[in-house]
DNA sequence: AAAACACATTGACAAACTTCTATATGACGC
DNA sequence: GCGTCATATAGAAGTTTGTCAATGTGTTTT
């Protein structure tokens, strides 16, 4: 996966308000109005954050009449974890052998 | 762990250049000059990104004479993964029972 | 059809971030 | 000590992000 896409995914976790929202969704689906009640932001700001979370694939939105219900995407989380896993250094090398013409 | 700290951790993965750096470190330790050679940025910019990566705990710096050697912190990565894990929704509820006075 | 409601979009502004040039720090070799 | 090399820091410019008030869109209710 290319870095641009990875950056978009992890932007989901870079803002305190978004982390708060994710914490709220941890126990299951919630509608936007319900999330809004527990936060100190305006409705357009919430809408902005939900878009970022959905674009990152971390949250899924489901429309039901005039309500939007949001929930964590476990697949999205898994994908993010795979990205992290990808950076693990398995060479587990003893330090001190890296580079530079000494 | 509080959200402010989590946000700092994940900022490490929000920039394409930093992701590129992490990709380079994937195969083991490298010194700064070595990383710089493979990137299209100036030395101060690299220094800036390395600081963000180190502050996030994702990269470890080791000074040896006038050289700085950087490597992935597997512990840091693990911590990040634990944060993601924390958001997983294990209620795995059937959708449609969430909220809102219908 | 009109009013009310839930949410999204637009546009403006401030704060934060990325990048650069210039300069400082600290280590090495002469 | 002096010049050189590797890296860090400071300060400035441009870009992106977070936030809000105002407005638009689509749905339900009366």
Each residue's pLDDT tens digit, A25-70:
999 999 999 999 999 999 999 999 999 999 999 999 999 999 999 9
B68 in a domain, yes or no?
yes
Reported as type and span, the H/E element at residue A4 is: helix A3-11
B36 token code pair? 């710089």
B9 in a domain, yes or no?
yes
Report the protein residue whose CA lies nearest the C1' of nucleotide C17. B15
Burial of B96: CB neighbours in 10 Å, binned 0-12, 13-18, 19+: exposed
Closest Cα of chain B to A71: distance in Å?
Answer: 8
Chain C bases having any atom below 7 Å from a protein CB: 5-11, 17-22, 26-28
Domain of A76, in residue numbers: 3-86
CB within 8 Å: B4 and A16: yes
> How many domains, chain B?
1
Torsion sign across C-alpha atoms A51, A54, A58, A61: positive
B75 in a domain, yes or no?
yes
Residue A68's domain is classified under what CATH number? Answer: 1.10.10.10
Reported as type and span, the H/E element at residue B57 is: none
Flag whether pLDDT at B10 surpasses 50.
yes
Q: In 3-state terms, what secondary structure has residue B2?
A: coil
First and final C-alpha spacing in chain B: 36
Nearest to A88 among B10, B67, B72 (CB): B72
Specify whether the CB–CB gap between A88 and B22 falls below 8 A: no
B50 in a domain, yes or no?
yes
Please write the tens of the pLDDT for every residue from B19-49.
999 999 999 999 999 999 999 999 999 999 9
B94 in a domain, yes or no?
no
B65 in a domain, yes or no?
yes
**Can you give the pLDDT at residue B1?**
84
User: Residue A76 phi/psi, 5° resolution?
Assistant: -60, -45
A63 in a domain, yes or no?
yes
Of the pLDDT bands very low, low, confident and very high (cuts 50, 70, 90), residue A99 is low
B92 in a domain, yes or no?
no
Chain B residues in contact with A66 (beta carbon < 8 A): none
């Amino acid at each position: 996966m290319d870095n641009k896409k990875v950056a978009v995914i992890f932007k989901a976790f870079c803002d305190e308000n978004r982390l708060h929202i994710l914490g709220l969704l941890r126990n299951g689906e919630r509608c936007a109005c319900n999330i809004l009640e527990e936060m100190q932001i305006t409705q357009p700001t919430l809408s902005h954050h939900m878009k970022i979370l959905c674009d990152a694939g971390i949250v899924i939105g489901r429309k039901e009449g005039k309500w939007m219900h949001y929930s964590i995407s476990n697949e999205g989380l898994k994908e993010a974890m795979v990205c992290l896993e990808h950076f693990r250094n398995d060479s587990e090398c003893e330090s001190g052998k890296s580079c530079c013409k000494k």
